[in-house]
Each structure stands twice: as structure tokens, then as C-alpha cells.
Chains A and B, each alone.
Chain A
Amino acid sequence: MTVIGERSRIRKMDWRRWLRRHGWTVAAWALLLALIGFYATLIPRFGAFQISSIAKNSLPLVYLSVAQAVIVIAGGIDLSVGAMLVLTNSIAAQLMVGQSFPITLIIALGVILLAAGINGGVGWIISISRVPDIVVTLATSFILSGVALLVLPSPGGGTSEGFRAMFTGSATGSGTNFWPSLVVMAIPVGLLAFWMRRSRTGLSLYATGSDPTAAYLSAVRTARAKVVSYAVGGAFAALGGLSALAITGSGESRLSTGAGFTLRSVAAIVLGGVALTGGVGSVVGAAAAGIVLFTLSPVLSAMGIDPNTAQVIQGALIVVVMMVAGIVEVRRQRSE
């Protein structure tokens, strides 16, 4: 009798502990649901087409936010994820044009591995040079976007219809079938989240980001964690580039695109509960925040707000959320 009581007490505490640990992730998903619900009341017909539109168009930002999240959780920050997205987008568009679906899949795999290799190298440079992450990735953002311009001097290239359907649900990139977009979003993010919480290497990323010295003294290979986090981040940035190619059907290497994406990825992870100091948060929360950031624009435009004012509101909203979070944090620190 008492044993059962004890057990249920423990389970209840586990539940509370789980909520406390993942509160922000849950809040991010709740915010997303509320936002979509609000969106549904704004427009006359909310159906599969709108869901599909949100799901597929938020893919690049979601992948990029996850890329940034992995790296930040492991104690880094990557200002070149946007440039990596543009570079992989350009390479894939250049190689995939006129190819069949199986060939484009192989090319996609190659591009992902290439991006993981390059970004892993960046992580390696950071760990051996001891130059701060921001500085190194600032420099590599110049390099990657320059190479992207060399690969694809003007917008163009293309991909196969099957490849477009894989990310968007239709060969033309516009339709009502939202399942493929949701699947290609959920599977990589889900696998990554599981790996980060359950595997030895995944946990070493959290340990390194939380306190590199303590992690090092506890026999965690911190340099390896840094390289792994950057490599995984590079792979996800490549997924972002590939999904952007699938959505538009052609490549694009404008420099400003990459910078804008990088900045939004940083905003998304913070909104998703990943602390910029490292070791805190989850890629699942970052993914939700990525969708939220994307969904804000159709919501604001459905409210009849012009795009410029919408941008002001979007910026102000991020600040307000962060201010509230800041106050909550300060009060929690005082109470402890």
C-alpha cells in the first residue's frame, strides 16, 4: 500500500520535473497552436491548403533553427548557417537540374555530407585556434556566401519533380497534401532530439555547452563535442538549403538571403528556449519557434497589416517575449 503511494508520488514528481525542465518547449508548441488557431479564425477558409502552406514554407527556417540550436546547446554559435543554407541551395540547384528523382536523392545526400564535413571543419578550427565562435563563423559566413556566388552567379538551376514532392507534397510545390512536409520535418528533428537526450555523444553536447571545464575534467571529449555539434548543424543547414530548393524549384545565391536567415535562426532558438549561454533547451522547442516565426507573417497579413508594419510588430514581439523571459529569470534567481 505504502509502496504504491510512494511510487505514485515519485511519478507525480517526475511529471512536475519533466514540465519544469521542458516548460519552455511546451510553451513554444502551445504558442504555435494558439497562433495557428488564431490564424484559422482570421481567414474565411482554413483547410489543408493553409496547413500545407505553413508546413512547407516554414521548413527552411525550422531546419536552420535546429542547426543553430544544436550548435548553441553545445556552447557555440554559428553566424554562417544562413550562408551554408545558400551555398547548399546553390550547389544542389546547379547539380540537380534535369536529373531524375533517384539521382537527385543521391546528390542531396552528397550535399548534406559535404555541408556536415565543411561545418565540422569549422568546429575543428574553432577548437584548435581558440578564436571565439562568433568570429570564426563570421569569417566563414563571408567565405561560404562568396563560394555560393561562384557556384551559382545568377538565380537558376533546378531539381526533379519527385524531389519537390518529397518536401512540399506536390511536383509543382503548391498543393493541399501537407503530410510529406510534416514527415520530412518531424523525422530528422525527432531523431536528433532523441539522439541528443539518449546517446553518449548527444549528452556530451549538453555537458560541453553547460560548462566546458567541468565537462573536460569529467572526461568528456569537449573538442569532439564541438566538432560533432558543428557537423550536425551543417547537415541541418543543408536540409534547409535543399528544402528551399524544393519549395521554389530553383536556386538563389543572394548574399542578403543568408544573413537574414542566420539572424532569424538566432531569434528562433531563443524564442524556443535555447539559452545562448549553452547547455539549455531542446531542438524540439527551436523547431516550434521556427514555425512560429514563419507563421507570424501570414497571420499579420491576414489581419490586414502591411508587410513593413508587420516587420516592426514581429521585431517588437520578439523583444517583448525576451523581456518577459528576462524578468521571469531575474525573479527566479532572486527567489532561489
Chain B
Amino acid sequence: MTAETRLGLDDEDQARWALRLAEHPLIVLATVLVVLVLVTGVIEPRYLSVSGIRNTVLLAAPLGIMAGAQTILMLTGGIDLSVGMIATAAAYVAGNQSPNGAALAIALGLLVGVAAGTVNGIGVGVFRVNPLIMTLAMSAILLGLFTALSFTVLQGSTTVAPFIKTLGGGSFWGNRIPYNAVVWTGVSVLIVYGLRQTGLGRLLYAVGDNSVAVRLAGIRIWQVHIAAYAIAGLLAALAGILLAGRTGAVDLQLAVNFLLPSVAAAVIGGTSIFGGVGTYGGTIFGALILGVLATMLTFLDAGQAIQQVVYGVIVLGLAWLYARVTGIG
């Protein structure tokens, strides 16, 4: 009798814990992040220093911004497989226009992102093309277009202006805080505020949750889609320009490898691929976790092959853990 009661209590306790964690998924993510940082510190004691953490943030910032684009679209039930190529295209334009001044270069780069995003939005919102296909095709179109343009109109500069270099790779306050982290913080505040407090932000969740209900409530869903994809294009372009600043030069492979990690960061952060569920706060943790992982694997001196395998196993493990703890798919 007593044993049974105790067992029942245990179950109840466990259920309560699971519920508490499910209500605050960020606790799980923060724990994973801290554990990863500590493990990395054990592997390489020098990592647990200001410069070690700085490097991780420097790595994570462009990814975090790109994953922000992915988060916004996943909330609407969409996905953007062209973020990597949009970022690359924007960075390429920024690099090409760098001789004309950093301001113009950045502005034109961002414009490329907004334009590509808007076209994606029109395809998905107005013509109801599946987001996977639309953005996949956009990616192919951009790659072909920019390869062709790089021989003609966009010939010339492939290095970025000093200002962009500082923005993407420099740090201040005695080399402690990277500038791109400041940009990321600003973007984060805007996204978190936008998703929580603005009408468009709430609509993104609503469309992802039940688009039929939203339509019947008198909302023009296609406008929401176009806005979401345009914002995602803008964010991807910004990430691409920061990335170009970090590497100092642009090429047409620059951000292509960021596509899958951007999805992974959002997923690790608890954003549902089916739409309507997720926060940008989670995605920030997702990007940081991936950043720490990348650093750890560099310290372990693992070859590219091992890195890929470990990366995959950890993304799968975290997603599984997350699904178990929160009960959300």
C-alpha cells in the first residue's frame, strides 16, 4: 500500500516536472548550452575565457539571424530553403558595391534580400506554390543568375568595405564584444518584440496554427505570407553581409552551408516545422548551441567527416530530447 502510494507520488512528481519543463522549454535549452560549454571547457580549458566565448558568439551571430528568418517562416507553416543563397547573393552584391561606400553596399545587399524574399512570398501566398518548392527553385534561380552576373555586371570587387569587415568580424571594449553580436542583439529584440506585440507577429502564429480560421476572420493571408517572406529575405541578407564581413571576401559558396544549420537551430529551439508553435528565444539558444558545438569539434581537431556525423547525431538527439520533454512535435 505504502509502496504503491509512493510510486504514485513519484509519477505525479515526474509529471509535474515534465509539465514545468514543458512550460519553460528554455530551461532545457539553457541546460544543454551550459553543459556543452562546460564539456568544451574540459576538452580545452582555455575556452572558458572571454575570448573563447567571444569566438562562439562571433560564429553564432550570422547563423542566429539566418535562423530568425527560418523561425518566422516556420511559424507560418512555411520554410525557406533559399536563405543560404539569398545571404550569398546579398553578400556578393555588397562586396561588389563596396568600392562605392559601405552604406550603399549594405543597402543594395539588403534590397536584394527583400526582393528575393518578396518573390518567394508572392509564389507561396498568391500562387499557393509549396514553400519547399518555391524556395528551392528560388535558390537555383539565384545561383544561376549570380553565376551568370558575376561574369558580366557584377565583375570586379570581391572584397568587402572595411566598415563591413569591422561589423562582421571586429570587436570592441578591449576585444571582448563582437560588433555582430550587437547587431544580433538588436535584431533579436526586434523579432521577439515583433512576434509578441505586433499585429503581424500574432498573425504569423495564427496563420501557422489555422490558416482557414484566419482567412474566415477576414485576414488576407497572402499579404501575411508576402510580409513574412520579405522579412525573412531581409534577415538572410543581413546575415550574409555579416558573414562576408567576417571572412572579408565574397564568393558564390559563402553561405550555402548555412541552410541546414539555420533549420536545425530553429528546430533545436523548439519551433515546430508544422507552424504556430515556437519562439525566437529558443532559436537564439539553438544557434548558440550549434556555435559551441562547432567550436568543440574544432578543438577536438575532428575532420570534416567526423564533424558532420557528430553534428547530425547531436541535432537528432536534441530534437528527440526536446520532443520528449515538451511533448511537442
Contacts and interface: CB of A to CB of B under 8 A. Distances in A.
Given A276-B130, A322-B134, 17 more contacts: A125-B316, A129-B323, A129-B324, A131-B320, A135-B267, A135-B273, A138-B315, A139-B319, A141-B312, A150-B306, A255-B304, A267-B133, A309-B144, A309-B148, A310-B144, A322-B137, A327-B128
B143 interface: yes
B228 interface: no
B308 A142 contact: yes
B141 A316 contact: yes
B129 interface: yes
Contacts, number: 155
A310 B128 CA distance: 25
A218 interface: no
Contacts of A140: 312, 316
B136 A263 contact: yes
Contacts of B140: 263, 311-312, 314-315, 318
28 contacts: A131-B320, A134-B263, A134-B273, A135-B263, A135-B267, A135-B273, A139-B313, A142-B308, A142-B315, A146-B304, A146-B308, A147-B305, A149-B308, A263-B139, A266-B136, A267-B136, A276-B130, A310-B144, A311-B141, A311-B147, A312-B141, A314-B140, A318-B133, A318-B140, A319-B123, A319-B134, A322-B127, A322-B134
Output the residue of A135, A144, A255 with the most chain B CB within 10 A.
Answer: A135
A96 B110 CA distance: 50
A136 B308 contact: no
Q: Report the interface size class on chain A.
A: 35 or more
B312 A142 contact: yes
A322 B130 contact: yes
A332 B5 CA distance: 60
What are the 10 closest A-B residue pairs judged by CB atoms, nearest first? A146-B308, A311-B144, A142-B312, A149-B305, A143-B312, A139-B316, A315-B140, A146-B309, A326-B128, A315-B141
B129 A132 contact: no
Tell me what chain A mostly uses at the interface: helix, strand, loop, or mixed: helix
Contacts of B267: 132, 135, 138
A318 B133 CA distance: 8
Given A129-B323, A315-B138, A319-B134, A141 B305 contact: no
B132 to A, nearest CB: 6
Contacts of B147: 308, 311
A330 interface: yes
Contact of B329 (A132, A315, A330): A132
Contacts of B133: 266-267, 270, 276, 318-319, 322
Interface string B12-29: 000000000000000000
B50 interface: no
A135 B127 CA distance: 26
Interface in A220-267: 255-256, 259, 263, 266-267
A146 B316 CA distance: 15
A323 B129 contact: yes
A14 interface: no
B65 to A, nearest CB: 20
A319 B311 CA distance: 33
B130 A270 contact: yes
Interface in B146-204: 147-148
A312 B127 contact: no
Given A319-B137, A326-B128, A312 B305 contact: no
Contacts of A327: 127-128
B319 A131 contact: yes
A108 B171 CA distance: 54
Contacts of A146: 304-312
B299 interface: no
Contacts of A309: 144, 148
B129 A326 contact: yes
A153 interface: yes
Contacts of A311: 140-141, 143-144, 147
Contacts of A323: 123, 127, 129
